[in-house]
Amino acid sequence: MSEAQHRRIGDTVLKVDNISLRFGGVRAITGVSFEIRQGEIFSIIGPNGAGKTSMLNVINGFYHPQEGTISYKGTVRRRMRPHEAAATGIARTFQNVALFRGMTTLDNIMTGRLLRMHGPAMRGAKRLGTLGVPFRPLAAAIDFVFDLAFWGPAQHEEIRHREVVERIIDFLEIQAIRKTPVGRLPYGLQKRVELGRALAMEPDLLLLDEPMAGMNVEEKEDMSRFVLDVNDEFGTTIALIEHDMGVVMDISDRVVVLDYGRKIADGKPDEVRRNPDVIKAYLGEAH
């Protein structure tokens, strides 16, 4: 793949070290370790029930592992909550599409900008860094009043964010459904909107949980193209869970294979495909 040569793959951005996760007596993940490097497309694959989504939930902060650590951007995280993970630059899509059903496509993608939507007071407080921390609640209150009155600065911000969202809509080719409430969209389009919302957060690490599920060949091609373009243009690191082997082999830089909560292989797609343990885990049938 010529494009891989153009991508700059850097140092480790996420390190998963000896993670074990249990729910009562059920061991979802046992002793899994791997690394994801900056700027690469990393796939997590494995038969159903292998613990892939649980792994993503651990990275995202929905679950906290009983053992093991996760280091993100060099710092070890302790019991990070999902919204804190989001604030550090991790964006996530869900297997069953967790969109805000009552809102339109545009509004949904706009919610991705919420973390970056600060009023003028808050921006000032943030600029003060740690010194400004105690001022933040006050700043939030001031901004709130600004908001209600929808004065000049708020409107300006609104336009800037709207432009970002429109560019994403253009990128994902979903102009036609801009104003449609997402609850009415077909599944494939919903997944695209969810990707749009994740992109709106301008994440450093993008976690995609089965982004191609339920799509036909053409839709999968489109989605693959989007994933590659995102990685190419913005340098976003992407970790995805996927069942379609064709897609995985095609676009991933590296792959980790889980089975019954354990890692059974790790490496470049071609290596993994030929690994006998992997073949056995999938009952000898490649997709």
Partner 1 sequence: MLDFLYNLVVAPWVGMLTDPLFLGEVVIGGVLAGVMYALVALGFVLIYKASGVFNFAQGVMVLFAALSLVGLMEGVQVNYVALVAIVLAVTGIVLWSGEMALGRGIGRALFAGGVAVGAVKLGAGVLLPRGIMLGAAGLIGAGISFKLPLWGAVPATILIMVALAFVIERVILRYMVNQEQIILFMATIGLTFFLEGFGETVWGSNVKKLDIGIPDARLDLSKLALPGAAVAAIFAAAALASVALMFAWRVRAVRSAIDTSKGLVQPPLIGPASLFFGMAGLACFLARFFVAGDAAFVKGKAEATAMLFASLSWFGLALVATVALLALATWRGRREAAEDHGADVAPLHYGWFVALGVAGAVAVAAGIVWAVRSGILINGFELFAAAMAAILVIVLAVFFQKTRVGRALRAVADDHAAALSVGISLRGIWVIVWAVAGIVALAAGIIWGGKSGVQFSLSLIALKALPVLILGGFTSVPGAIIGGLIIGVGEKLAEVYWGTAIGIDAIENWFAYALALVFLLFRPQGLFGEKIIERV
Partner 2 sequence: MMPAEIASAQTFPGLLEVNARLRGSRPAIREKDLGIWQTWTWKEVRDEVRVMASGFAALGLRRGDALVIVGDNRPQLYWAMVAAQALGAVPVPVYQDAAANEMQYVLDHAEARFAVVEDQEQVDKLLEIKARCPKLEAIVYRDPRGLRHYAQPFLHSLAAMEAMGREHIKQHPAFYDEEAGKAKAGDTAIMLYTSGTTGQPKGVVLTFDNIIKMARMSVELEGLTEKDETLSYLPMAWVGDNMFSLGQTYVAGFCINCPESSATVMQDLREIGPTYFFAPPPIFQNILTQVLIRIEDASWIKRRLFHLFMKVARRVGGDILARKPVGAAQRVLYWLGELVVFGPLKNTLGFTRMRLVYTAGEAIGPDIFNFFRSIGVPMKQLYGQTEATVFVTVQPNDQVRLDTVGVPCPGVELKLDANGEVLYRSAGVFKEYYKNPQATAETKTADGWVHTGDAGILDRDGHLKIVDRAKDVGRLRNGALFAPKYLENKLKFFPAIKEAVTFGADRDYVTAMISINLDAVGAWAEKRSLAYSSYQELAAKPEIYGLIKTNIEQVNRDLAQDRELAGSQIKRFVLLHKELDADDGELTRTRKVRRRIVADKYADIIAALYGGKTSVHVEAKVSFEDGRAGMLKADLKIADAAVAEAPPGRALAA
Q: Which residues contact partner 1 by CB under 8 A?
A: 60, 62, 81-83, 86-87, 91-92, 94, 98-103, 107, 110-112, 114-115, 117, 119, 133-134, 137, 143-144, 147-148, 150, 180-181, 183-186, 197, 201
**Identity at 97, one-letter amino acid code:** V
Choice between 17 and 147, CB closer to partner 1: 147
Q: Which stretch binds partner 2 (CB under 8 A): 114-122, 141-149, 172-180, 246-254?
A: 172-180
119 binds, among partner 1, partner 2, none (CB under 5 to 8 A by kind): partner 1
Shortest CA distance to 269 belongs to which of 100, 49, 43, 47? Answer: 43
Is 155 one of the binding residues for partner 2 (CB under 8 A)?
no
110 binds, among partner 1, partner 2, none (CB under 5 to 8 A by kind): partner 1
Choice between 225 and 268, CB closer to partner 2: 225
Q: Which two tokens stand for residue 13?
A: 């951005």
Site size toward partner 2 (CB under 8 A) is: 21
CB of 95 to partner 1, least distance (A): 11
The number of beta carbons lying within 10 Å of the beta carbon of residue 31 is 14
> Which sign, positive or negative, has the C-alpha torsion 249, 253, 259, 264?
positive
Is 8 one of the binding residues for partner 2 (CB under 8 A)?
no
Choice between 6 and 79, CB closer to partner 2: 6
Is 218 one of the binding residues for partner 2 (CB under 8 A)?
yes
Contact residue for partner 2 among 107, 166, 219, 266 (CB under 8 A): 166
Q: Give pairs for 18-21: CB < 8 Å, separation 24+.
A: 18/67, 18/68, 18/69, 19/55, 19/58, 19/65, 19/67, 19/68, 19/69, 19/70, 20/65, 20/66, 20/67, 20/68, 21/51, 21/54, 21/58, 21/63, 21/65, 21/66, 21/261
- DSSP type of residue 129: G
166 binds, among partner 2, partner 1, none (CB under 5 to 8 A by kind): partner 2
Instruction: Determine contact, residues 160/117, Cβ cutoff 8 Å.
Output: no
The number of beta carbons lying within 10 Å of the beta carbon of residue 37 is 16
Shortest CA distance to 97 belongs to which of 6, 231, 193, 184? Answer: 193
Q: Which two tokens stand for residue 9?
A: 């793959």
**Region of residue 95 (left: phi > 0; alpha: psi -120 to 50; beta: else):** alpha
Choice between 124 and 181, CB closer to partner 2: 181
Contact residue for partner 2 among 79, 83, 233, 283 (CB under 8 A): 233
Choice between 7 and 162, CB closer to partner 1: 162
Largest Cα separation within the chain, whole Å, is: 64
Choice between 1 and 98, CB closer to partner 1: 98
Is 285 one of the binding residues for partner 2 (CB under 8 A)?
no
185 binds, among partner 1, partner 2, none (CB under 5 to 8 A by kind): partner 1
Q: How far apart are CA 87 and CA 80, in angstroms?
A: 11
Q: Which stretch binds partner 2 (CB under 8 A): 52-60, 122-130, 169-177, 242-250?
A: 169-177
* Residues lying near partner 2 in the complex (CB under 8 A): 2-3, 6, 162-163, 166-167, 169-171, 173, 175-176, 178, 217-218, 221, 225, 229, 232-233
